[in-house]
Structure 1
Amino acid sequence: MRNQVFVALACICSFLWVTIIFILSKDRAPPQVLLDPQSLESRLKNVEEQLSRQIEDNKKLLENITQVRHKLEVKLAEERREKVSVSGADESNYEGKNDNVIPVLLFACNRVSVNKALDELISYRPSKEKYPIIVSQDCGHKETANVIAGYGDQIISIKQPDLSEPQVPAKEKKFRGYFKIARHYGWALNQTFNTMGYKQVIIVEDDLEVSPDFYQYFSATLPILREDKSLWCVSAWNDNGKAGLIDENAADLLYRTDFFPGLGWMITKDLWDELSVKWARSYWDDWMREPVQRKNRACIRPEISRTKTFGKIGVSNGLFFDKHLKFIVLNSKNITFMDKDLSYLLKDNYDKRYIEDVYKTDMLNIQEIRQGFRPELKEVRLTYRNREDFRRYSKQLGIMDDFKSGVPRMAYRGIVSFMYKGRRVYLAPGANWSGYDPKW
């Protein structure tokens, strides 16, 4: 009985459906076959405008989705660290829960000479637990991967999974490598901070030597970096760190600088949380130097570099290496920074002392400085009034003469400190300096 009722209902429904379709088809107006040209052009223009608006809306939507995704990733990573991982390994094994652990994140690609960098990092390392070394490899270069694998459990090895070719503007195709590097940096820093849970990291590349006190330097400056919100990094590098331009008897001398140096640098997770949601697609170091990222924050840097590059061949094709980079002096002394009071680097302490010291020094002109006039003066000041002055004086005195977003290399409040013929020179703007000009 039930089957008969069901069949009857099915037949009625089918009949009604066919009837409705027939009525609708019968009453439908025939489509217009031809449109006059003006009407067609108007409609096409409207469609083009709607598509343009939709594209802009999609861009905004994508930016919002990216930010939401990042926040979810951070939240999920925090939840994962409180649970047993999928692989069965307790993520509490990561020392990231100890706020004083400082991992070293080494970026590698296709240099088999990565062993030179790793050997020094491992030989100078006081503790494997406090200073885990994470090697992140891009490129998929097998020979380099084999070298890295040879270090076994002395390091943590990770591999950037996206080896696809990035989308690059046509006029920048020869700079494709810079897009890959920025992508690699973003991925590896997310792994270090959000997956492994570390609170800070020292970033190096596969072509850097390090000094014997490399770990001391970063460990001692970490509390200052955490405390002083006007700082956003600690760097091991001095762009003007060539022989003759540094005081080699002042290996413990540290500065603040408004210039982001890179080449061995430390940041905190708080900073990465800020930068990661808008991370650069390419040229990440110059992107860091833009005012919108820097926000008037400074880095700590040494008188004598704690890193030195041996990588002549790379994405930059050896830019500056033969003329400059290979002459940078690497500190050879083991300075016990942990025993020193570095509170002078805090902004409130540093600015008052440093600015007073600079502007109370006697002022000489460029000819007097080059000729060694008044040798009894151990510190002198040379004033520049504009960009042309700075570049002309820099070239005559042997320091870097370029600017990034208006900031001279190694400058603090416009002042660049270096040695010339055995005495300290401050290349400084006038005392009424009001800030950097990004157009310089």
Structure 2
Amino acid sequence: MTLADPAPTRPARIFDRSTPPAIITLVVMAGLGALSMNIFLPSMPGMAAYFEVEYAVMQLAISAYLTVMAAVQLLIGPLSDRYGRRPVVLGAFAIFTVATLGCILAPTIEIFMACRMAQAGVSAGLVLSRAMVRDMVGPEKSASMIGYVTMCMAVAPMIGPMIGGALEQTWGWHANFIVLLVFGIAATALCWADAGETNRHRSASFTEQFRAYPELFASRRFWGYALACAFASGAFFTFMGGAPYVATEMLGLSPSELGFYFGFIAGGYMSGNFLSGRYSQRVGLNRMILTGTLVSTCAMLGCLVMFLAGLAHPLALFGPVFVMGMGNGMTMPNAMAGSLSVRPQLAGSASGLGSTLMMGGGAALSAATGALLGPETGPWPLIGMMLLTGVLSTLSILYVMAVERRRLREEIAVAREAEARARHVGEARPQSMPGMQDLRGR
């Protein structure tokens, strides 16, 4: 067995710490991290009033949190490669649970923000759920399992504000964090009972690990896969940053109608995940990624054409967004699986770096879209930015495919050269045999 192969593991059994985690445990790990990002978004005006601060200060609970989350993910991966997935995820979830309790009890904005930043430890669930999948199975099969995990990651930020709005209206902003506290305790208990260790290729030391990093950072395939995934994810962040403004100010949708249409992208993503899980092993990672990126790009081209034709209707935006979500549902799980398969012994580090690219790039795209949108710009910054992410994602996977074709040609050339050399040696031997026989005769 090579490091490219997954470690042999016993079949997963629920609530058995001696086996790998069940898929439901991995989904919960990723879902908690995704839900914590913005569940309290509708409560922010009320929270600003409660702490007697400006709304801009309260917004740091989202923007600064995403920044800290991106930084933490760079540490989570290497720690899990060195010490194992299980202890890191349990420790991170315990920190999240205590920090959530601190958010509930915080008497001042300073204490609240400190506890909110400590909640970023939950990003271990986002990183390690994917690394655990790669530990358990090979790259082709891991794409379908990662699809279920990323489906939860994509859907949770979409439905989180809807849940948070209902909680805010009924019980106030504290209810959002009470729900996160309950989920945190439940997720920690589930991981304790079910998440067996999957990392069988632990680094002997951080020094050894750091020596291996140049292999990962120098891999063109890794960067191609990671950027394909980051740009596809960037379309979601761009949509979340700009769609509410376009929908309410330009298309005249009410908040309830916006909530309904917001479900389109989640529905599309789940459809793409279904297709990915069903066909990835048959079609292959690269072809599935390329298909997904082309679907997303064509969807946003269609959106652009409809708005240029004057069809300023909600379905002219959200219909193509559904198709774009489907394309991303095919792209992201396979791109993640590809990036983790480049250096399997650094799967945790690769997952952390990939997540950081997704979070950091997504936050930048979301902020840029929000800054560009205005009454004088129309919907064009939103449509253009989402179209751009599709094009860049397509170029990224085409780059990976070109690198792999070149590597295959080089391997074929080396094999042919070795075959020719062996043939030459084989032809030379019979020519020397008569001489040997003559010597023996003498």
Same fold (TM over 0.5): no
Task: Determine which structure has the larger strand proportion and give its number.
Answer: 1
Task: Determine which structure has the larger helix proportion and give its number.
Answer: 2
- For this structure pair, what is the TM-score category when the shorter chain's length is used for normalisation? under 0.3
Higher relative contact order (CA 8 A, sep 6+): 2
- What's the TM-score, normalizing by structure 1? 0.25
